Structures are given as C-alpha cells and as structure tokens.
Amino acid sequence: MRNFILGVIITLLLLFLGGLAIATLGFLPTTADSTPPKMERRLAMSAMDASMERHAPRVTSPVPPTDDNLIDGMKIYTMNCAGCHGNLDNKPSPFGGSFYPPVPQLIIHPMDDPEWHIYYAVRTGIRYTGMPAWNKTLTEQEMWKVTTFLTRIEKLPPAVQDYWKKSFAVAPPVASPDGEEHGHHQ
C-alpha cells in the first residue's frame, strides 16, 4: 500500500514537472491566429456552459424591452461590441477570427441563451478569452439594455427594425418560420 501511494505521488510529480518544463521551455504556442482543435473547443465550451450554469444568478432583467431600450441597446452594442462581435450591417467582424478562441458573431448567429446567462457573460467577462468584463465601463442599465437587445435580435418590434434599416442600410435578421435553432456555437 505504501509503495502504491508513493508511486501515485511520484507520477503526479513527474506530470507536474513535465508540464512545467513544456511551458518554461517554450513549447506552448502563443499564436492567436490559429483555429482551436475540435476537441479543445468542445471541452472548453461545455466547461464554460457548466460554469455559468453553476455561477450565474438567475436574475430577471429590470429593463423592459421597450422600443427605446432596444434602440439604446443597439447603440451600446454598436459602440462597444460590434468591433469584435460583428456590426449591424450583417458582415462578420474581421477581428472575429483573430482571437483564440474566435469571437462568436452575435448578429449573424444570434444567441438563444436566457437573459441571465448573457448578462452574466457581459458583466463578468469570460476568462482566457478576449471577452472583457464590462462592469467597470458600462452601467447596470447599459449592460441590461445591451442584453435585452441581444436576446431579441430576431424578433425586434417594427419601430426598432426600421431604426436598424435606416442606420445600417440592411434589414435585421428574422427567425426562420420553421423554428430552426440559431446557436452561436459554430
């Protein structure tokens, strides 16, 4: 039994030292302009979803989805988020693939997650990615307004759609009638 425990400890130590050597000798890549392997992506995605599921408070938005709030949310998105997540002209951001992991394009592939999930991602950011925490640069109201907008991209009221068309010369995306899912997890 003692030998077994010693064996486990030595194995763990070797694994740890091996990892340390790989890192300090420069074998880990720093490049952000490559595509994460499928396996890594799948693992990271499910870890992130599980973590949010565990940590994010199930809060209800204090901001009602009125036309004014949605238009405010659109403006906040355009000024702070479009550079990475894609503009309202329905073209992907050239920066989208320049991050590791790549930035989800939230206009072309709208999210179907609940508001508490999106609000938590916006407020606290996402560790080890390019997604910043916005709680120091946006107010509570602003974070909720952009969340309200992001959860309704495909079902905006007519006045807000008109505002979008006037401002960006393209029509906003609409949900397909067959109820097809538009996951952002490409």
Residues in CB range of 182: below 8 A, 6 or more apart: 109, 110, 112, 154, 175
Q: Under the criterion CB under 6 A, does residue 36 sit at the interface with ligand HEC? A: no
Using the contact rule CB under 6 A, the part of the chain among 10-18, 100-108, 153-161, 167-175 near ligand HEC is 100-108
Using the contact rule CB under 6 A, the part of the chain among 8-16, 54-62, 99-107, 156-164 near ligand HEC is 99-107
Residue nearer to ligand HEC on the CB measure, 52 or 175: 52
One symbol per residue from 108 to 137: x for binding ligand HEC (CB under 6 A), - otherwise; what is it? ---x-x----x--xx---x--xxx--x---
One symbol per residue from 57 to 96: x for binding ligand HEC (CB under 6 A), - otherwise; what is it? -----------------------xx-xxx-----------
CA–CA distance, 152 with 160 (Å, rounded to integer): 11
Q: Determine which helix (DSSP H) or strand (DSSP E) holds 112, and give its type and residue range.
A: none
Nearest to 97 by CA among 151, 148, 53, 32: 32
Closest approach of ligand HEC to the CB of residue 88, in Å: 13
Residue nearer to ligand HEC on the CB measure, 19 or 114: 114
Q: Determine which helix (DSSP H) or strand (DSSP E) holds 117, and give its type and residue range.
A: helix 115-124
Half-sphere exposure of 169 (CA within 13 A, CB side): 1
Residue nearer to ligand HEC on the CB measure, 145 or 163: 145
Q: Under the criterion CB under 6 A, does residue 99 sit at the interface with ligand HEC? A: yes
Any idea which residue has 């949310």 for tokens?
73
CB-CB contact of 152 with 79 (8 Å): no
Phi, psi of 64 (to 5 degrees): -70, 150
- The residues binding ligand HEC (CB under 6 A) are 48, 80-81, 83-85, 99, 101, 103-104, 111, 113, 118, 121-122, 126, 129-131, 134, 146, 184
